[in-house]
Amino acid sequence: MAEFTMELNDEQKEVRDWLHGFAADVMRPAAAEWDEREETPWPVIQEAAKVGIYSLDFYAQQYFDPTGLGIPMAMEELFWGDAGIALSIVGTGLAAVGVLANGTEEQIGTWIPQMYGDQNDVKVAAFCSSEPDAGSDVASLRTRAVYDEARDEWVINGTKTWATNGGIAGVHVVVASVDPELGSKGHASFIVPPGTPGLAQGQKFKKHGIRASHTAEVVLDDVRVPGSCLLGGKEKLDERLARAREKAKAGGERVKNAAMATFEASRPAVGAMAVGTARAAYEVALDYATTREQFGRPIIDNQGVAFQLADMRTQIDAARLLVWRASWMAVNGKPFTAAEGSMSKLFASETAKKVTAQAIQILGGNGYTREYPVERMHRDSAIYTIFEGTSEIQRLVIARTLAGMPIR
């Protein structure tokens, strides 16, 4: 088990500096354009692929960092560059993690390379879980998968929403109910291969922020996929469903919702994204406050401005430490007895909204214009208190954990 440390090692610092350089030199100059266009920044993704950032190998290296700090460090630097472009770069990872967590070795080897493509022909993938009537309440999924034994195929029907890369992806990973009576325990995940008939993009959302990241509905109308596309395989699914039915019949103890438990472990990464955006806004505000003069002196000489900056920096550092703690706990198998994953995401996301708003205030009228990036950062920051569980859900998870109640 790696000991907790407040210092990055030399290798981590090298990776951090490399990512920071890409974020500063490639992502930031393109940020305003792709925000205005509200389109997927394919050229930037391709550049990321060329240097090795947009690849499974890179994320695997960070994921298996024994300190747990590889992923949060990478997320912070990329989202410091620009949240919308960064989400376009890391969004495929959501689908890849779904396959890594649930798939067989053969499925992992077959599908994950197709999710990324290569540096000359980049692809993206989509993870489709949320639905119009099932966001935070994951147990209420209506998308249904029915097994056609005669043809060894699964038939999937339903509508997914808020899917990053939905419809433009080659590979879609779709969560569907195979036994509605079991609630969330009756869910399974499926690969929908590129070009599968019946899958179509629905509404593309025009968003308040992260506009360079494509978000859309995915409509599944009698989508047929081979039996081999059930992640983990049918034998494993049948065994899991049988256990769940036995527990339900026996009135067994209530078990923590598996999807919620997975989210709890992944939330520190979202917290790191929020830290990156907050840090970016703080740095713009600090630079402005030290160079902007009013009444013959820099505005940072005014206590009202200086105290805001002091609070901003304190909150950012505190958020980062909560993220690092939860990330270290997760990689070392430490149980989140106080919902530390949700704590990190809650505090970091709320910090990002607050810090970016303070940055606009410090820049005054300039901060309200698109000439300065804090306006965009403030719009982008709003998503952190919504996706991967709203702030209200984080508080609910923390409260139920402290009370010794199951997470539902």
Burial class for 160, CB neighbours closer than 10 Å (0-12, 13-18, 19+): buried
CA–CA distance, 268 with 286 (Å, rounded to integer): 26
CA–CA distance, 86 with 107 (Å, rounded to integer): 27
CA–CA distance, 36 with 12 (Å, rounded to integer): 34
What kind and span of H or E run contains 352? helix 340-363
Out of 77, 375, 388, 392, pick the active-site residue. Answer: 388
Active site residue 388: yes
CA–CA distance, 152 with 172 (Å, rounded to integer): 20
CA–CA distance, 184 with 143 (Å, rounded to integer): 12
- Asked if 279 and 316 count as a contact pair (C-beta separation under 8 A), the reply is yes
Residue in the block written with tokens 């998968």: 145
Q: Which two tokens stand for residue 401?
A: 């954990």
Own/partner long-range contacts of 13-22 (Cβ < 8 Å, ≥24 apart): 15/62, 15/70, 15/73, 15/74, 16/73, 16/77, 19/53, 19/73, 19/74, 19/77, 19/78, 20/77, 20/80, 22/47, 22/48, 22/51, 22/53, 22/81
- The C-alpha torsion from 155 through 98 and 102 to 405, rounded to 10°, is -100
Task: Indicate which residues carry an active-site annotation.
Answer: 388
